[in-house]
Amino acid sequence: MIPHHAGTILMCHEASVEGGNQTNVERGYVESASEIDELKANLDQLGR
């Protein structure tokens, strides 16, 4: 799922550059970054 959320962050960056809806862009970025942090923490707890 980390690559999935990383892809969302890239798409948010592209949408921001292209003039996308800023509220949705920011929300997508923040939510995906948060999910990545949570997934990494889970992997650390599992020792992976």
Among 35, 38, 45, smallest CA distance to 12 is for 35
Task: DSSP for 1-48, please give it.
Answer: -HHHHHHHHHHHHHHHHTT--HHHHHHHHHHHHHHHHHHHHHHHHTT-
* CB-CB contact of 18 with 41 (8 Å): no
pLDDT the model gives residue 21: 86
What's the pLDDT at 31?
97
Q: How many domains in the chain? A: 1
What domain range is 35 assigned to? 2-45
Global pTM exceeds 0.75? yes
Length of the chain: 48
pLDDT of residue 20: 76
pLDDT value at residue 7: 96
pLDDT digits (tens, 9 = 90+) for 13-45: 898 888 878 899 999 999 999 999 999 999 999
